[in-house]
Structures are given as C-alpha cells and as structure tokens.
C-alpha cells in the first residue's frame, strides 16, 4: 500500500469507527458486532503503526489511554462555573417560579433536567476538535483533566455538522452503577478497600495520573450546557438539541431526561415522575434542575452573588425505611477479614427488597449501639449496598442487650485479632480456615489472575470438599481421573480443567504475582513489583527501603509483602508452584539492556522509522521510563515532526537534551 492509499484508508477507517462508537455509546443502537468493531480497530492500529505519519492526534485508537500525568494544571474558566441554589421543598420551587414571573416580561418557558450525581466538567472545542477539559474547581478555575476525559467514549474527540468554531460544552461525568459494582467486585478480589459510592469514585478516577486506568473504568457522561460568543441559538433546550446533532451524548425528551414546560404544573409533574422512577436508572441522580429556557430572559434575570436567578435545583430526600434487625451474621473473607452483616425483616427500599445490610466493622456496631431486635433505619442514598444509619430507640425492648462483636472465627473458631491502626478484625488462621483457603484458590484461578479455563467457584467447592485441594499448589497435582469423578463432571469438562491448568503455566510473572493474593498487591502493584525486581526471589529478599523506592509502593504495601515472605508456608507454596512450572521471573525481550536505567523520556511528534509506541517500547525494554509531560526531572525529549512548539520551548528552557529520531537510534549504536 502506498502513502496516498494508506492515508485515505486511515481517514476512512477512523470515520467509520467514530460512527460506530457514536451509535453504540451515545445512540445505544449498535450496528455491527463487537467482534467486527474490534477487527476495524485492529486494522486501523496496524495501519497507524505502518504509516505513523498519518496517525492523527484524535484517532479513535487513542481511547485506551496510557499517558501519565504528573500534575493537573490549574486553568481559569472563560465562563464562570457557578453552582445552583437548591432546595428540598416543593413550596420553595413554587415561590421561585412566582418570583420569576414577576421579574420577567412575557411568558416563561422552563427546561427540566435530571441532576446527575457526578463531576461537573467544562470541555472546549476548537475547529471541531476537543482541545481542553476542565473540572469545576472553585467556579473560577479548575484542573485540566483533558487526557483522562479523552478516554471517555461518550465524549467525542471530533464533532460533525454545523458546530461553532470555538465554544464550550458543560455537563456531568459519572460512573454507571454496573461499572461501579464491577470495579468493587474486582477490588474485593484484590483485597483492596471498596469504594463508597459512584460519585466519589468518578471524581477520584478523573484525577488519576494513569489515563489507561481511567479508560478501564468505563466512565460516562451527559453534556447539556453550551457556552460561547455569537452562538445564534435562542434557548437552552434548543442548544441541547443542537449539541446532540454535533455528536454529543445529551439528555433527550423521548426518555424524559429533559423536558420543556410552560407552567409550575409541568415542573411538578417532572419532579414527581423522577422521584418515583429514579431507582430504575442505570446511574445515580440526586434531584432535578429547572432553568428558564430563553437566553435573553436568563440574561435579564441575571445572577445573585453565588448563583443564577434563572435556575434552581430540587434535591430528592434520601429514601429511608424502618425495619427490624433480626440477627447479625459474620462473613470471613479471603484475607481473613471479618465483616458483620445485619439480617433484616424484609422491606422495600429503592425499588428492591432489602433483607441484609452491611455493618462494616465492630466500630460501626458500637457507634449505633445496636441490640438484636432493634427497629433500625436503613438507607441506600448514594450507596449500592443498603446501610443502617440509625436506631428507633423508642421501640427498643428492655430485655434486649447490646451486640458484642464475636471473639472467635465463625468458621474455624480461631481467636480473632485486630491489627493496630485497622478497623477490621481478622482470623489469623490463613492455613486451615476454609473460607480463606477457598477464597485464595478462587482468586488464583480468576480471569485477571491465572484465568484457568473450566474452573469456577462451584468446582473449587467440590474439589475442596473431596479433600483434593487445600492450597493453590494442590491444583497442579490434580489428575484427570480425580477430576472426572466429581459430581456432574463429564470427560470434556475434566479435560478442559487439566488443559487449563497446563496452559496457566505460561501466564506471565506479573499475573502470577497478583494471583498469589498478597494483601494490598492488586493487579497494578503486581505489575510494578514484577517489572522492578524481575524475579520472585528478588522480591522475597528486598528490604523495606528497596520496596518503597518502587513507583506507587507505599509503607503499607511494603510491610505486607515482607510479612508474606516471612511466612514459611507461603515460601513452601511458591517452591511447589515453581516446580509445577509457573512463571516466576520476567523474560527479558531479545536485545534488552539496562542502558537507559534511571533516565526518563518524553516522546512527542511523528516519526519516520518507528512509531511513537515502538520508541516507547524500546525505552522501557532498555530500562528507561516514559513520562507524558516535560519537567525538570525529564532527561531526554525525543522530538519527531510536528512536535508542539510549546513543548520544545519548555524543554529548551529547562536545559533538557532534545533528540531527533536519528539521534535516539544512535544511543543504541
């Protein structure tokens, strides 16, 4: 393929992928299968690698992230991002509407919208391309989170239609409930603290330094406020409709996420409808927003010191129900953590039947002064899991007594411990406590760990009950004859398990390290440790200082890693896994060296011989580190064609060595 044909094909593929992205994520009308979409994306990626000079900045292949942000720059807002006045009172909404009618000339129209429970964002587009995304901050300035926002698939990188050449669109970035639940499930498997609610998680995710992690968390958005000069649009409702045609995911009337009304009755109908229906939404809302539609009337009504007069937010009261606490049970996690669970008299809350609520730890029980038999108040609010928020002591039976947290493990009767500085109690019997042993095995075989085909929690239970496995190492001693004897196990299924175990011996070291289930060593930390120390033996003998010198490894993780290897049973387990043939060292790629160890690089621009990703891979395989932004700590800038002049100027002013592509190649000659 020649250069002309390649450029045409890249443009054609980019346009087609952008179209399917919009249909899937914004219109919710997929036109092709996921498989066919992935083939298109792979074809574009291959072409961009072969012809890097035609890989443009807003290619759909950039959605996966990967850039690292050291610090989020503070940026002033061109148009202030003021907060709205809010109320929980319908009477105050009526008073607000009456007041506006007295202040305005002519009839008023109102736009009613959902109040999305997420992170406010302002995104600037220039010449149809996303140029900058800034958080609300204090209303006058916020943080530049452009790199992370570009990974959100419902936010277009390039617009279509008759868009203005320079404008800003505002809205809310949020985490869908399904994504939130999936993320917490993964964190639970990695023995990481669970996130409290989708809103805080979305906020924290948007401020993460690694945009690849942001991309994996499936944030979503609704954008609904268009700002700019000479937009030639008369009203808010009309501007939202226009923005949808430009390619944005906007609220639409057909699902009642937005409505234009002309009376207080219309406003109240919208409020009452969503007060009942909000629990059916796939994301969190905490109220509705009402705005005067016409821009000229908005301008005439003006602002108070803190908020616009022409808009107000009505916030829903958090739904709370009262029910009886029948008993408390205790769950034992993979790491021995004991979680108390309240068993409740069944009650309807948020459209679902609630029978259980988490009590988190002994401090929470003490704080609530719980007695079994109490009538308790239960809320969901911003939480996915119901929680007890109070006790109706007026209904307390005098014969009941305070709940004392258990002192022994409910599964193996071992005396519980509570480590200094931690709120949870633990069962220290990690060798013979059944839930811990089975939990470790289930974590080990998981998709992001060893991903052993054919094995699941039910099969683990059967193997454990038969006495065939007690530890993860026992899996590799299993035979076909042993497995096929299990209940409801056919020959084909047994063969799949044995084949899956054999295939897992090729799983790379970083995933094996994660699969071991060392406390606080999640997927990302395992990658950092494996990359830094290269072998399990090096990690085993690493000092505390050596561990905390690894990027993103803090005191807590370092102590946990050292404690793991101080346990002789764990060391013996690893010896068995090594003998079984698992990977416990990183296999260096051919030609790898430590030539660039300790050096940091910024790679920018378009290159002739190599793609940008290939240059970055060479840097990492020779011990160097890729960073996304230039600072005084940067050692080299590898500058290709079309590198931004601002970056070059900054690198020069800091005295950083700037290498052309040929000069970079010379480093290895």
**How many domains does the chain fold into?**
6
Q: How far apart are CA 393 and CA 437, in angstroms?
A: 41
Determine the Cα–Cα distance for residues 172 and 170; give it in Å rounded to an integer.
Answer: 7
Chain center to CA of 649: 35
Domain boundary among 474, 506, 538: 506
Contact status, residue 387 vs residue 357, Cβ threshold 8 Å: yes
Specify which residues 347 forms β-bridges with. 354
Same domain, 502 and 520: no
Residues 520 and 456 in one domain: no
- CATH number reported for the structural domain that contains residue 568 in this entry: 1.10.150.20
Q: Report d(CA 278, CA 391) in Å as an integer.
A: 26
- For residues 336 and 485, state if they share a domain: no
Return d(Cα 125, Cα 131) in angstroms, integer: 5
Give, for 85, the enclosing helix (H) or strand (E): none
How far apart, in whole angstroms, are the C-alpha atoms of residue 643 and residue 650? Answer: 12
Any domain includes 425: no
Which DSSP letter does residue 472 get? Answer: G
Beta bridge partners of 604: 639
Q: Let me know: does 412 contact 427? Beta carbons within 8 Å.
A: yes
370 vs 311: CA distance, rounded Å? 43
- Phi/psi for 376 (5° steps) reads -115, 155
d(CA 561, CA 540): 8
Question: Taking Cα atoms as reference points, which of 588, 438, 589, 580 lies closest to residue 504?
Answer: 580
The neighbouring-strand residues paired with 354 are 347
In a domain, 424, yes or no: no
Angstrom distance (rounded) from CA 133 to CA 122: 6
Residues of the chain under the 50 pLDDT cut: none
Both 290 and 227 in one domain: the answer is: yes
Query: What is residue 70's predicted lDDT score, i.e. its pLDDT?
Result: 61
In a domain, residue 298? The reply is: yes
Phi, then psi, of 160 in degrees rounded to 5? -130, 165
DSSP secondary structure of 144-178: B-HHHHTT-TTS-SB--SS--SEEEEEEEEE--HH
Do 172 and 307 fall into the same domain? yes
Cα distances (angstroms) measured from residue 15 to each of 39, 40, 48, 665 = 15, 11, 14, 34
328 falls within a domain: yes
Q: Is residue 253 part of a domain?
A: yes
Q: Are 305 and 374 part of one and the same domain?
A: no
Contacts of 276 (CB under 8 A, 6+ apart): none
Residue among 289, 297, 307, 234 at smallest CA distance from 80: 307
Q: What is the DSSP string of 487-553?
A: TT--HHHHHHHHHHHHHGGGS-HHHHHHHTT-TT--HHHHHHHHHHH-BHHHHHH--HHHHHTSTT-
How many Å apart are CA 638 and CA 605, to the nearest integer? 8
Residues 126 and 31 reside in one and the same domain: no
Residue 47, domain CATH = 1.10.287.610
The full DSSP string for 396-459 is --TT--BPPPPSB-TTT-PBPB--TT-SS-B---TTT-HHHHHHHHHHHTSTTTT--TT--HHH
Residue 69 burial class via C-beta count within 10 angstroms: exposed 0-12, middle 13-18, buried 19 and up = buried
- Pairing label, strands 74-76, 220-227: unpaired
Helix (H) or strand (E) holding 313: strand 311-315
Residue from 115, 150, 153, 616 carrying the catalytic annotation? 115
Same domain, 234 and 141: yes
Domain that holds residue 58: 3-64
Residue 506 makes CB contacts below 8 A (sequence gap 6+) with 583
| Catalytic residue flag (residue 115) | yes
How high is the pLDDT of residue 638?
Answer: 92
Percent composition of the chain: helix, strand, coil (DSSP 3-state, to 5) = 40, 20, 40
Residues 376 and 390 sit within 8 Å (Cβ to Cβ): yes
* Residues 122 and 258 occupy one common structural domain: yes
At residue 262, the pLDDT reads 94
C-alpha closest to that of 207 among 286, 138, 124, 137: 137
Asked whether residue 106 is assigned to any structural domain, the reply reads yes
- Residue 394: its pLDDT value, please? 94
Instruction: Identify whether residues 56 and 194 lie together within a single domain.
Output: no
Secondary structure tally for the chain: helices H, strands E = 24, 20
Distance CA 9, CA 3 (A): 10
Q: In angstroms, rounded to a whole number, what is the distance separating the alpha carbons of residues 319 and 321?
A: 7
Domain identity same for 483 and 519: no
Predicted pLDDT at 591: 62
Pick the closest to residue 625 from 658, 602, 655 (CA basis): 602
- Give the per-residue pLDDT at 4: 76
Nearest partner of 616 among 217, 216, 12, 212, judged by Cα: 212
Q: Extract the runs of DSSP E, i.e. beta strands, from 20-162.
A: 74-76, 86-87, 110-116, 119-126, 129-135, 141-143
Claim to verify: residue 556 and residue 647 sit in the same structural domain: no
In this structure, the strands spanning 636-639 and 600-604 are: parallel
Q: Whole-structure pTM over 0.85, yes or no? A: no
Cα-trace Rg, the chain = 29
Contacts of 529 (CB under 8 A, 6+ apart): 510, 513, 521, 539, 550, 553, 561
Do residues 401 and 341 lie in contact, with contact meaning Cβ atoms separated by under 8 Å?
A: no
Q: What pLDDT was estimated at residue 146?
A: 92
Contact status, residue 270 vs residue 277, Cβ threshold 8 Å: no
* Residues 310-339: tens digit of each pLDDT: 999 999 987 789 999 999 999 998 889 999
Residue 44, pLDDT score: 85
d(CA 512, CA 446): 11
Within a domain: 307? yes
**231: in domain:** yes
CB 213 within 8 A of CB 147: no
In this prediction, residue 244 carries a pLDDT of 94
Rounded CA separation 155/414 (Å): 53
| Secondary structure of 551-612 as H, E, C letters | CCCCHHHHHHHHHHHHCHHHHHHHHHHHHHCCCCECCCCCCCCCCCCCCEEEEECECCCCCH
């Amino acid at each position: 393929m020649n250069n002309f044909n390649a450029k045409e094909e890249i443009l054609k593929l980019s346009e087609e992928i952008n179209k399917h992205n919009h249909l899937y994520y914004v219109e919710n009308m997929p036109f092709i299968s996921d498989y066919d979409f992935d083939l298109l994306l792979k074809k574009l990626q291959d072409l961009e690698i072969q012809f890097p000079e035609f890989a443009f900045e807003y290619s759909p292949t950039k959605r996966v992230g990967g850039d690292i942000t050291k610090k989020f720059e503070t940026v002033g807002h061109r148009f202030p991002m003021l907060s709205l006045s809010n109320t929980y009172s319908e009477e105050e909404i009526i008073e607000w509407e009456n007041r506006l009618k007295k202040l305005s000339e002519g009839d008023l129209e109102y736009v009613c919208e959902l109040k999305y429970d997420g992170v406010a964002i302002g995104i600037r587009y220039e010449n149809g391309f996303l140029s900058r995304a800034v958080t609300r901050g204090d209303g006058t300035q916020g943080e530049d989170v452009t790199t992370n926002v570009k990974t959100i698939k419902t936010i277009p990188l390039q617009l279509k239609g008759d868009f203005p050449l320079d404008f800003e669109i505002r809205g809310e970035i949020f985490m869908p409930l399904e994504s939130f639940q999936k993320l917490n499930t993964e964190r639970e498997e990695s023995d990481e603290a669970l996130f409290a609610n989708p809103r805080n998680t979305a906020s924290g995710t948007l401020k993460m330094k690694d945009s690849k992690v942001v991309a994996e968390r499936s944030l979503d958005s609704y954008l609904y406020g268009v700002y700019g000069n000479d937009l030639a649009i008369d009203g808010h409702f009309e501007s939202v409709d226009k923005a949808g045609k430009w390619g944005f995911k906007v609220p639409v009337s057909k699902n009642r996420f937005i409505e234009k009304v002309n009376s207080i009755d219309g406003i109240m109908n919208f409020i009452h409808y969503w007060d009942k229906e909000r629990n059916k939404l796939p994301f969190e809302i905490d109220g509705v927003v009402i705005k005067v539609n016409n821009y000229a009337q908005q301008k005439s009504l003006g602002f108070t010191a803190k908020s616009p007069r022409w808009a107000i937010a009505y916030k829903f009261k958090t739904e709370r129900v009262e029910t009886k606490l029948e008993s408390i049970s205790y769950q034992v996690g993979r790491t021995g953590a004991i979680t108390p669970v309240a068993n409740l008299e069944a009650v309807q809350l948020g459209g679902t039947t609630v029978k259980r609520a988490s009590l988190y730890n002994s401090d929470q029980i003490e704080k609530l002064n719980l007695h079994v038999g109490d009538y308790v108040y239960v809320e969901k609010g911003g939480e996915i899991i119901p929680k007890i928020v109070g006790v109706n002591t007026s209904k307390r039976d005098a014969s009941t007594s305070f709940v004392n947290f258990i002192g022994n493990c409910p599964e193996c009767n071992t005396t519980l411990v509570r480590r200094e500085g931690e709120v949870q109690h633990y069962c220290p019997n990690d060798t013979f406590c059944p839930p811990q042993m089975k939990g470790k095995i289930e974590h080990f075989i998981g998709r992001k760990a060893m991903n052993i085909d054919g094995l699941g929690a039910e099969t683990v239970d059967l193997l454990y009950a038969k006495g065939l496995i007690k530890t993860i190492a026992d899996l590799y001693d299993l035979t076909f004859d042993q497995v096929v004897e299990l209940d409801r196990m056919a020959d084909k299924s047994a063969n799949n398990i044995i084949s899956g175990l054999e295939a897992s011996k090729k799983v790379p070291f970083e995933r094996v390290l994660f699969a071991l289930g060392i406390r606080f060593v999640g997927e990302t930390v395992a990658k950092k440790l494996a990359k830094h120390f290269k072998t399990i033996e090096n990690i085993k003998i690493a000092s505390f200082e050596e561990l905390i010198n690894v990027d993103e490894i803090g005191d807590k993780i370092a102590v946990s890693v050292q404690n793991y290897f101080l346990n002789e049973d764990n060391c013996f387990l690893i010896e068995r896994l090594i003998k079984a043939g698992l990977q416990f060292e990183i296999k260096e790629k051919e030609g790898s060296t430590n030539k660039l160890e300790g050096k940091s690089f910024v790679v920018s621009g378009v290159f002739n011989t190599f793609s940008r990703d290939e240059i970055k891979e060479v840097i990492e395989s020779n011990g160097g580190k890729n960073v996304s932004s230039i600072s005084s700590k940067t050692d080299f800038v590898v500058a290709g064609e079309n590198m931004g002049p601002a970056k070059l100027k900054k690198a020069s002013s800091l005295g950083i060595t700037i290498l052309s592509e040929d000069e970079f190649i010379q480093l290895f000659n």
